[in-house]
Amino acid sequence: GPTQYAPTICDGIERGLRDAWGRHRSINGRQIWVNTPAAQRAIYEPGACELRYEKITDIDSWLSKSDDSLVPMWAVGKPAKLLLDRLSERALSTSVPPPSGWSTSVPPPSGVSTEADDQITWSVRGIGAGTGPTQLAADVRNGKVVSVFASVETDPETQSAITERVSELTGKQPNDDLVWKTVPRIAMETGAVQMFLTIGTRPQ
């Protein structure tokens, strides 16, 4: 959780972080420093004089075609059991440390019925200058994953880098609505601090 400091200490926090990590980004009244080599960010709330650190991940780990991708684009069209098994391996593995970016504090998702419509939800590390984890949901129909939806708070620079990453992975450019006409279809919605990525078509 965040650490709250006395006012006399607060004066030096921003200066110390700036000296150590360089420039910060301001998002929703928070000052955020990103240390990419250390896969960590510092989040400082000046009004409350609170400082906390979060582990983050890099773009290549966040989204790739491999089954280690934190946003599992590989899972769309595959049996839900494959995704559940993969998530359980990451959450429960004790002999092998989980890959960078997987949160071991999040329990493995509960079982999904292959007979009924369902959804699997979980979270992984955040990315860039934002706060909190990446929230994920996989929609399941007839035992198969039909879409994967990711929601993350991050800065516009990182959102642009993720857009480029999707184009790199698909070999296609998005249209003006940030939709890649690929199989499966990929769509992105961006805002000042929030980004949504949908792989596949979400059930109505």
What pLDDT, on the 0 to 100 scale, is given for residue 46? 84
How many folded domains does the chain comprise? 2
203 closest CA partner among 122, 116, 134, 133: 116
- How far is the C-alpha of 138 from the C-alpha of 194, rounded, in Å? 19
Identify whether residues 128 and 142 lie together within a single domain. Answer: yes
Identify whether residues 79 and 113 lie together within a single domain. Answer: yes
Identify whether residues 63 and 51 lie together within a single domain. Answer: no
Identify whether residues 42 and 109 lie together within a single domain. Answer: no
Domain-ending residue, one of 55, 79, 97: 55
Identify whether residues 67 and 15 lie together within a single domain. Answer: no
For residue 9, CA distances in Å to 25, 50, 137 come to 21, 11, 41
The tens digit of pLDDT for each residue in 98-108 reads 444 444 444 44
Identify whether residues 26 and 109 lie together within a single domain. Answer: no
Domain that holds residue 19: 3-55
Q: At 33, phi and psi to the nearest 5?
A: -110, 135
- How far is the C-alpha of 136 from the C-alpha of 112, rounded, in Å? 15
Give 6-43 as a 3 state SS string. Answer: CHHHHHHHHHHHHHHHCCCEEECCEEEEEECCCCEEEE
C-alpha Rg value of the chain to the nearest Å:
18
Identify whether the C-beta of residue 43 lies closer than 8 Å to the C-beta of residue 52: yes
The tens digit of pLDDT for each residue in 105-145 reads 444 444 433 344 589 999 999 999 999 999 999 999 999 99
- What global pTM score does this model have? 0.82
Identify whether residues 157 and 69 lie together within a single domain. Answer: yes
What pLDDT, on the 0 to 100 scale, is given for residue 47? 81
Identify whether residues 100 and 16 lie together within a single domain. Answer: no
- Provide the residue-wise pLDDT of the chain in tens; the chain has 204 residues: 676 656 567 778 888 888 888 888 888 889 999 998 899 999 998 888 899 999 999 999 999 999 999 999 999 999 999 999 998 887 654 334 444 444 444 444 444 333 445 899 999 999 999 999 999 999 999 999 999 999 999 999 999 999 999 999 999 999 999 999 999 999 999 988 999 999 999 998
Identify whether residues 22 and 114 lie together within a single domain. Answer: no
What pLDDT, on the 0 to 100 scale, is given for residue 190? 94
What pLDDT, on the 0 to 100 scale, is given for residue 3? 67
Identify whether residues 29 and 82 lie together within a single domain. Answer: no
What pLDDT, on the 0 to 100 scale, is given for residue 7? 57
What pLDDT, on the 0 to 100 scale, is given for residue 16? 86
Within 10 A of 36 (CB to CB), how many other CB atoms are there?
Answer: 12
Identify whether residues 89 and 186 lie together within a single domain. Answer: yes
Identify whether residues 165 and 152 lie together within a single domain. Answer: yes
Q: In the structure, how many helices (H) and strands (E) does the chain have?
A: 4, 12
- How far is the C-alpha of 11 from the C-alpha of 49, rounded, in Å? 9
